[in-house]
A = this chain, B = another copy of it.
Amino acid sequence: MKNTSAASHASSGPTLSRREFLYRAAAVGGTGLLLNTLNAWGASVGSTENGPPALSGDGKGKTIIILGAGLAGMTAAYELGKLGYTCRILEARDFAGGRCQTARKGFTLKEYGGEEQVCQFDEGQYINHGPWRIPYNHQSTLHYTKLFQVPLEIMVNDNDVAWVYREGAPGPLLNRRVRQLEIKADMRGHVAELLAKAVKDDKLDNELTVEDKRLLLNYLAHEGHLSKNDLKYRGGEGRGFKVYPGAGTDPGPGMESDPLGFKELLGSELGNVYSGVHEIWQQATMFQPVGGMDSIAKAFEKRVGKDIRYGTIVQAIRQQEDGVSIDYRDAVTGATGSVHGDFCLCTLPLSVMGSIANDFSPQFKEALRAAPYLPVGKIGLQMKRRFWEEDDFIYGGHIRTNFQGIGDITLPSTGWQSQKGVLLGYYNFASQATEISAMSLQERTDFALAAGQKIFPSYRESCEAAFSVAWHRVPYNLGGWATWTPEARKTAYPLLWQGEGRVLLAGEHMSYLGGWQAGAIESAWQQVAKIHQRMGA
């Protein structure tokens, strides 16, 4: 937490130092503004690490071995490189990025125990089968998209018009498509009416003054779209019309729709698809790189690719008196070799560390096993027609289902109104992901199509190609991301974070931003600063 935001914006035109900035703010607006301004710097929104560590000194003549060319490894190489260090990145795959991947035409994946899969999407179509979202508050990831000029577009992570579909339970709202906005409007309306009545009838056992009550009734009428005169909820335009307003006299003003019943809604439990505010990392504004998430990986690779040895599978990590030695095997030739450095940053997932020989202490070895990796599955389905846009007027966002093994179906946030699109047919976790991943590729596709078909009549007939991934079966990943129990966070996590000898760890697993690219980047930033300090620079 050594960085100020000011440092992070060094690349964007004239920069004020933080002190200058605060001085100017105070001069203009007085103390109130000064406080607001402090509030806006770092602490108020965004990861507290908004930029790389501002380091001085020189790493010339020192070699840092970096294991893994994912975002953590490449972030470290980029930042260490700026200081003059020689970085050597060992990467098992023949491309960089780690989990930051995008499947498009020709992308090949062979899961352990699975068939080889070559993506057959049309040119220009793709699925981000790894990370796919960058929230506004992941300033670390956004630091690099800005620095490397990776063009961003909005990822529609919230679409009230999208369908909600619940299967299996009783009640009139089940096995039926309902738009989120109908649920939101009606639940919030009915609930506001209920509370308004209690306030009006003075039923509440609380300390509200007469003025408080007046203000609260005002608020409830506004929040719940209640009729002003009797504070009843009767629907309203926000939930959609039965006949939409238009031109002339027909449809003219249109016709309002009827709200869903309170008890039906309660019984359906559909209200639980939303809450007052989103979880912090799911909030808008949400971004995605134009053309695929791997634009970020490629932007890093362009800068540090010269330091990467591809197809290089790490076999052993050995501490030495004066450095670290890494044994590897070439993925293509099978030839073995080793490389020596002054220090090592290991960004490999903990899930693969078991297969790598090492001379860490028994405690450290045990800690490496403390965080199980979550099984995670995704499938991209190329549809030859954007029926969700054309028939249902849904542009991006998530179809919330309770289908086991499916979860949300997510519509693409790019290529609006074009002919084809790739949607996310399932996003499953844990035991559901394990089950689905045991299927053949064709069975996974069929499974996804059968579910989507219940919601969209054109689903199955529109599907042209599929690409699925089960991260727990992907070589060099063996899981979606690390999961930490509260207990392991207290014991194993700090031990791993400390590192041992001349080895430090980085990656999303070394953060509280598990599964997010920001976790990889921010952990690398902190370890880079530690390495630099340890190198005595």
Query: How far does the alpha carbon of A263 sit from the alpha carbon of B209 in the complex, in Å?
Result: 10
Please tell me if A278 contacts chain B, counting CB pairs below 8 Å.
yes
- A185 contacts which chain B residues (CB < 8 A)? 276-277
Query: How far does the alpha carbon of A253 sit from the alpha carbon of B187 in the complex, in Å?
Result: 33
Are A154 and B153 touching (Cβ within 8 A)? yes
Return the contact of A176 from the options B36, B160, B201, B497 (Cβ within 8 A).
Answer: B36
Query: How far does the alpha carbon of A29 sit from the alpha carbon of B204 in the complex, in Å?
Result: 48
**1/0 contact string of A385-407 vs chain B (CB within 8 Å):** 10000111111110000000000
- A413 contacts which chain B residues (CB < 8 A)? 154
Query: How far does the alpha carbon of A510 sit from the alpha carbon of B249 in the complex, in Å?
Result: 9
Are B272 and A177 touching (Cβ within 8 A)? no
**1/0 contact string of A231-260 vs chain B (CB within 8 Å):** 000000111111111111111111000000
Are B245 and A392 touching (Cβ within 8 A)? no
CB distance from A462 to the nearest CB of B (A): 10
Query: How far does the alpha carbon of A525 sit from the alpha carbon of B247 in the complex, in Å?
Result: 9
**1/0 contact string of A137-180 vs chain B (CB within 8 Å):** 10100100110010111101011110000000000000111010
State which residues 499-514 of A face B: CB under 8 Å.
506, 510-513
| CB closest chain-B residue, reference A455 | B36
- A284 contacts which chain B residues (CB < 8 A)? 156, 158-161
Assuming the contacts A276-B192, A522-B247, asked whether A266 and B223 have C-beta atoms less than 8 A apart, the reply is no
Return the contact of A246 from the options B41, B47, B201, B285 (Cβ within 8 A).
Answer: B47
- A205 contacts which chain B residues (CB < 8 A)? 197-198, 201, 203
- A238 contacts which chain B residues (CB < 8 A)? 275-280, 283
Are B510 and A397 touching (Cβ within 8 A)? no
Please tell me if A44 contacts chain B, counting CB pairs below 8 Å.
yes
Are B253 and A512 touching (Cβ within 8 A)? yes
Are A187 and B219 touching (Cβ within 8 A)? yes
Please tell me if A372 contacts chain B, counting CB pairs below 8 Å.
no
| CB closest chain-B residue, reference A185 | B277
| CB closest chain-B residue, reference A16 | B458
- A254 contacts which chain B residues (CB < 8 A)? 48, 512
Return the contact of A45 from the options B48, B392, B454 (Cβ within 8 A).
Answer: B392
- A252 contacts which chain B residues (CB < 8 A)? 512
CB distance from A248 to the nearest CB of B (A): 5
- A311 contacts which chain B residues (CB < 8 A)? none
Are B275 and A222 touching (Cβ within 8 A)? yes
Are A223 and B275 touching (Cβ within 8 A)? yes
Return the contact of A44 from the options B41, B49, B197, B240 (Cβ within 8 A).
Answer: B240
- A203 contacts which chain B residues (CB < 8 A)? 198, 203-205
| CB closest chain-B residue, reference A175 | B32
CB distance from A150 to the nearest CB of B (A): 9
- A442 contacts which chain B residues (CB < 8 A)? none
State which residues 41-59 of A face B: CB under 8 Å.
41, 43-49
Among the stretches A20-28, A332-340, A351-359, A471-479, the one at the interface with B is A20-28
Assuming the contacts A195-B194, A271-B222, asked whether A266 and B177 have C-beta atoms less than 8 A apart, the reply is no
- A237 contacts which chain B residues (CB < 8 A)? 279-280
Are B49 and A247 touching (Cβ within 8 A)? yes
- A244 contacts which chain B residues (CB < 8 A)? 43, 45-48, 137
CB distance from A68 to the nearest CB of B (A): 16
| CB closest chain-B residue, reference A140 | B246
Assuming the contacts A175-B32, A416-B287, A497-B248, asked whether A161 and B188 have C-beta atoms less than 8 A apart, the reply is no
What would be 28 A-B contacts, judged by CB atoms less than 8 Å apart? A1-B250, A5-B391, A37-B457, A44-B179, A46-B393, A48-B244, A49-B251, A136-B394, A137-B244, A154-B413, A156-B284, A156-B285, A161-B283, A161-B284, A181-B277, A188-B277, A191-B223, A212-B266, A222-B275, A223-B271, A224-B275, A238-B283, A239-B277, A240-B280, A247-B506, A249-B497, A252-B512, A285-B396
Contacts beyond the supplied A1-B246, A47-B246, A238-B276: 10 A-B pairs with Cβ under 8 Å: A21-B457, A40-B392, A45-B240, A45-B393, A49-B247, A184-B276, A238-B277, A246-B512, A249-B493, A251-B512
